[in-house]
Structure 1
């Protein structure tokens, strides 16, 4: 799989861990995040991930900021993005199964590195259930 990742200064450590984890599994990672812990503005690193997902240049996106909220809000401004703010693997699984989430938004300040790697694996391994959820997901992006 090809995965686009973006982060602000609060997510740098987790971005490195996620990238290493994904590459070890043979995935290609496109890094749009900062590699520094110096303060930056998360939209500058999230918009490129959202564009990658919308253009289908990648299979999925992963974004990381302190609370996950700002990054999530930014990503969801792009039509066709269904970014889900997740803080455990159960929420992550439901975001994929029920909402066909295509971007995982991670709150670095409220999760452990172990939790995050579990969430990433669940996100990539879980398929969209379809069925009754197709109609609902179709209503997220009004035409």
Structure 2
């Protein structure tokens, strides 16, 4: 596993590593042999930092994988999960179904929940709970399949 110019790394296990404490650095060179005589080691240069850095004290960071995970779309916030559970409970209590405007009103009044796009929220809930049906526009009901 050799380091190449452009790779992202973090320093570890050295005094220098404490100074940069987990900061991601970018390699400014490919690996090369450094030192003289019997004290030879493989090193790289790091962008914006002086000197050469022994590769034994560098850990590669898979920045693309990190960023993909970090900026993954459709993450569900804990408050959204809580609101989904509340709506499921609400629909279970109202056997005849409910209009989305009534769901929103009750969620605001009883729990202080606010959601700007009820349609998106209800689609997400219906994906997880196929028993919830939308027989017509803005109306939701739990269909037990009876």
TM-score over 0.5 for the pair: no
TM-score band w.r.t. shorter chain: under 0.3
Structure whose residues are more often helix by fraction: 1
- Which protein is bigger by CA-based radius of gyration? 2
TM-score by length of 2: 0.22
**Which structure has the higher relative contact order (CA within 8 Å, separation 6+)?**
1
Structure with the higher fraction of residues in strand conformation: 2
TM-score, normalization: structure 1?
0.22
